[in-house]
């Protein structure tokens, strides 16, 4: 699988553009670093986790069950659904 280069503009909390030529890995790193610097990583990721859960529930409309894990290679798990780890364990055991 080939990954493309993404471009984005990242703004610091004071509204200053940080850089406009990031690839997605650099963008993730910069965002996490900004959140850490302001001690906001936990509440922001909790909100993202909650919104993912809501959107998935709306999408499924009770027709199935879905778990998710949001992670990066550098920072590991950023957010996950309540049953995600249990599902991972069941999948490991079934191999």
Distance of CA 45 to the CA centre of its chain: 7
Give 6's pLDDT tier (boundaries 50, 70, 90). very low
Give 21's pLDDT tier (boundaries 50, 70, 90). low
pLDDT at 85 over 50: yes
Residue 79 CB neighbour total at 10 angstroms: 19
pLDDT at 8 over 70: no
Give 13's pLDDT tier (boundaries 50, 70, 90). low
Q: Which pLDDT does position 2 carry in this prediction?
A: 45
| DSSP reduced 3-state for 14 | coil
Quote the CA–CA distance of 37 and 12 in Å, as a whole number: 11
């Amino acid at each position: 699988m080939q990954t493309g280069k993404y471009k984005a503009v990242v703004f610091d909390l004071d509204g200053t553009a940080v850089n406009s030529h990031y690839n997605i890995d650099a963008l993730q790193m910069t965002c996490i670093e900004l959140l850490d610097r302001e001690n906001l990583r936990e509440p922001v990721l909790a909100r993202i986790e909650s919104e993912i859960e809501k959107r998935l529930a709306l999408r499924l409309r009770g027709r199935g069950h879905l778990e998710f894990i949001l992670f990066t290679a550098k920072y590991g798990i950023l957010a996950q659904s309540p049953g995600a780890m249990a599902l991972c364990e069941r999948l490991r055991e079934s191999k």
